[in-house]
């Protein structure tokens, strides 16, 4: 069975992100932000995936199959080759964006001599009063080994005497850019160049001959998933502290640096040739997120959240849910209704209990504050906090402690598993109210992630959710799930069964159709089933944003959408002999989601809601502006724009007209 490599497929997705930066129809500042997203994505890829592949490669050959070691070496070569190709295009795209900004009076200076002389006195004052306080020059000759902070940027400064110095760039403390105005023109200056302009003040006894930017990525994955003994929270806290000590996974350096300095750095940092990646004059270009431009033409148009009339008019979310279910689509429709759900639960005297799962909490979470209030108001509040959510471990731990101090019962991660479900349950004496989502309970990401959420009092679904919370909180073994699809409780088998049913329909000459929309598609047995279904005549449509290990063919196409918002919802449609089943949920079709996580997928029973989902899926499948086809060579192939359909615009207008208050 032919499969794409997971990591090369991810690189194909990240290139699709870069394509948005190339697109002249995207507002200029948004193109710069896509440059920043691409850079941030690639950084994390090297910190986690490449570091893990290198760890596999370096394991004692006696402990692993030699073929695995060989494959890891080849994969790293393929990754570096593809990244090198992409970065070449990245540089050209960025140069074009910066030039276009300049023609409009906004100058992102990329050389010291581009900085107007009239700004030099202000820059000198800024350097002497602010920047200089953070500088810590290191004479390389004084160190047998050199320690660099993970992801931090530095200047390598060479002087005429032959000495080499390392100088930190305090962008975390002061920001990466300083902004100035000269007449009608705006200037955005890298802090790197403000430091370069004043190196004679840092090294007054030397004649500067060169300054070159460097950056070191380190393995940032916490090795804690399978630890069963001891205090898990304490282990995670220790691992977070050690993250800065990880093994190198990528050393970026300015291509203009001389070979002698590069060789000395490699020795001091104990780098291998494959660690060393040629870069440009600047690193950490995810810092472009800092640049703000007041001209509205440079950004996406402001878009108001769509209100839901019944929820908007009612003083009580619970009263509305008692009358009917509500399917919400974010960020198109307002996330305020989810905040109201928790706020009302906190103060409603009839609410006795609240249960919630968190995977990634907002830094200033209003939901967290509502749960604290609920506990202080005498409610029984229990939170399952996943503290193994990569790069959100500390924020989740901080919130867990804050809620625990307020009387919320906190249950931490399960050994060997991550809980990725996006669910909440509010209990009154005689009724339960459930929230089922495809995205995190996070009001910040809800502004930019496309997700779905169901508010319901469906008795069987809320009872099954209650059983799941009992399992998470007390290790109680729940009865079988008849409505929810829950990984670790037969999810994989249920998906297999539903695909097999469509195959039987096709073999019987009946209409058979499957639509799967996920972020990632990797699980081999499901891919094998999809291949089989397409060969047997099932109409299979796949919308996969990121990793896709399935290789498309004539009868099995894959659409990828990257646009203003991040497509994040997971949707599963099975035609079921003209009695369609639709599930939404948190589970991608990945090994990790179906084998090493607890996920919840939930059914949509309302015919009207099913039609809503199908309408949105139709827009996505027909998208010929932001949608591309994944080719058999893992390329992003643009369709002919004959329909001129942009799914996110169509979805917004559809929901606006459907729910508009008259």
Residues annotated as catalytic are: 420
CB-CB contact of 439 with 449 (8 Å)? yes
- Comparing CA positions, the residue from 562, 662, 576, 658 lying closest to residue 613 is 658
Report DSSP state, residue 550: B
Q: How far, rounded to the nearest angstrom, does the alpha carbon of residue 531 sit from its chain's CA centroid?
A: 28
Q: Residue 148 and residue 216: Cα distance in Å, rounded? A: 7
Q: How many CA atoms lie within 13 A of 137 on its CB side?
A: 18
Q: Quick one: which H or E segment has residue 531?
A: helix 524-535
Q: Is the bond into 178 cis (omega within 30 degrees of 0)?
A: no
Q: Where are the alpha helices (DSSP H) in 283-333?
A: 309-313, 317-323
Q: How far, rounded to the nearest angstrom, does the alpha carbon of residue 414 sit from its chain's CA centroid?
A: 23
- Comparing CA positions, the residue from 660, 651, 501, 527 lying closest to residue 589 is 527
Residues 6+ away with beta carbon under 8 Å from 558: 542, 543, 544, 548, 550, 552, 629, 630
Report DSSP state, residue 273: G
- Strand 600-603: give its sheet, edge to edge: 485-486, 600-603, 581-585, 570-574, 513-518, 539-544, 556-561, 627-630, 636-637
CB-CB contact of 160 with 97 (8 Å)? no
Q: Residue 561 and residue 546: Cα distance in Å, rounded? A: 9
What is the secondary structure of 613-654 as a DSSP string?
HHHHHHHHHH--SSEEEEPTTS-EEPPP-SS---HHHHHHHH
Phi, psi of 504 (to 5 degrees): -65, -40
From residue 256, give the alpha-carbon distance in Å to each of 156, 167, 203, 259, 260.
11, 17, 21, 9, 12
Residue 329, beta-bridge partner list: 452
CB-CB contact of 626 with 649 (8 Å)? no
CB-CB contact of 517 with 541 (8 Å)? no
What is the secondary structure of 327-365 as a DSSP string?
EEEETTB-THHHHHHHHHHHH-TTEEEEEEEESS--TT-
Q: How many CB atoms lie within 10 A of CB 457?
A: 17
Q: Take residue 566 and report the two structure tokens written for it.
A: 């991040």
Q: Residue 473 and residue 359: Cα distance in Å, rounded? A: 16
Q: Residue 589 and residue 517: Cα distance in Å, rounded? A: 10
Q: Which of helix, strand or coil describes residue 410?
A: strand
DSSP strand pairing (627-630 vs 556-561): antiparallel
Q: Residue 180 and residue 193: Cα distance in Å, rounded? A: 14
């Amino acid at each position: 069975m032919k499969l794409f490599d997971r990591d090369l497929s991810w690189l194909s997705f990240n290139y699709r992100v870069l394509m948005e930066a190339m697109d002249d129809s995207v507002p200029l500042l948004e193109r710069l932000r896509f440059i920043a997203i691409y850079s941030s994505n690639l950084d994390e890829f090297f910190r986690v995936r490449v570091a893990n592949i290198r760890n596999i490669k370096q394991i004692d050959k006696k402990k692993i199959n030699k073929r695995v070691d060989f494959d890891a070496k080849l994969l790293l070569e393929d990754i570096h080759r593809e990244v090198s190709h992409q970065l070449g295009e990245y540089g050209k795209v960025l140069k074009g964006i910066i030039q276009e900004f300049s023609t409009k009076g906004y100058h992102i200076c990329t050389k010291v001599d581009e900085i107007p002389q009239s700004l030099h006195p202000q820059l000198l004052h800024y350097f002497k009063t602010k920047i200089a306080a953070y500088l810590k020059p290191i004479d390389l000759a004084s160190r047998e080994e050199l320690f660099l902070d993970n992801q931090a940027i530095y200047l390598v400064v060479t002087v005429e005497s032959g000495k080499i110095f390392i100088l930190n760039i305090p962008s975390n403390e002061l920001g990466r850019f300083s902004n100035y105005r000269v007449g009608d023109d705006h200037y955005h200056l890298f802090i790197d160049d403000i430091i370069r302009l004043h190196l004679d003040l840092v090294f007054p006894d030397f004649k500067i001959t060169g300054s070159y930017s460097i950056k070191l990525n380190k393995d940032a994955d916490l090795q804690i998933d399978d630890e069963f003994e001891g205090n898990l929270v304490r282990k995670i806290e220790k691992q977070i502290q050690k993250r800065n000590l990880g093994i190198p996974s990528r050393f970026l350096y300015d291509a203009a640096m001389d070979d002698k300095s590069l060789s000395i750095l490699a020795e001091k940092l104990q780098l291998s040739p494959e660690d060393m990646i040629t870069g440009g004059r600047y690193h950490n270009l995810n810092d472009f997120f800092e640049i703000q431009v007041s001209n509205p033409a440079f950004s996406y148009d402001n878009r108001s959240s769509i209100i839901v009339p019944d929820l908007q008019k009612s003083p009580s979310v619970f009263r509305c849910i008692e009358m009917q279910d509500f399917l919400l689509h974010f960020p198109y429709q307002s996330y305020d209704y989810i905040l109201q759900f928790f706020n009302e639960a906190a103060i409603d005297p009839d609410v006795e209990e609240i249960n919630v799962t968190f995977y990634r909490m907002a830094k200033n979470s209003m939901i967290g504050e509502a749960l604290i209030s609920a506990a202080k108001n005498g409610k029984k509040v229990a939170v399952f906090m996943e503290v193994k959510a990569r790069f959100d471990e500390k924020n989740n731990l901080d919130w867990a402690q804050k809620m625990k101090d307020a009387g919320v019962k906190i249950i931490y991660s399960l050994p060997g598993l991550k809980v990725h479900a996006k669910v909440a349950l509010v209990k009154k004496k005689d009724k339960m109210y459930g929230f089922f989502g495809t995205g995190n309970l996070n009001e910040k990401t809800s502004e930019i992630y496309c997700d779905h959420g169901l508010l319901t009092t469906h008795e069987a679904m809320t009872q099954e959710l209650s059983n799941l919370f009992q399992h998470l909180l007390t290790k109680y073994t729940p009865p079988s799930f008849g409505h929810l699809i829950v990984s670790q409780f037969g999810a994989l088998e249920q998906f297999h069964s539903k695909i097999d049913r469509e195959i039987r329909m096709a073999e019987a000459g009946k209409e058979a159709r499957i639509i799967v929309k996920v972020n990632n598609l990797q699980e081999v047995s499901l891919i094998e089933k999809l291949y089989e279904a397409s060969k047997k005549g099932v109409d299979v449509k796949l919308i996969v944003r990121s990793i896709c290990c399935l290789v498309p063919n004539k009868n099995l196409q894959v659409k990828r959408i990257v646009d203003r918002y991040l497509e994040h919802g997971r949707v599963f449609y099975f035609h079921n002999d003209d009695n369609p089943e639709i599930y939404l949920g948190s589970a991608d079709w990945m090994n990790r989601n179906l084998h090493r996580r607890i996920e919840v997928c939930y059914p949509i029973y309302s015919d009207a809601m099913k039609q809503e989902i199908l309408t949105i899926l139709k827009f996505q499948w027909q998208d010929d502006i932001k949608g591309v086809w994944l080719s058999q060579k893992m390329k992003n192939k643009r369709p002919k724009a004959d329909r001129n359909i942009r799914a996110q615009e169509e979805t917004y207008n559809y929901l606006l007209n459907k729910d508009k208050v008259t």
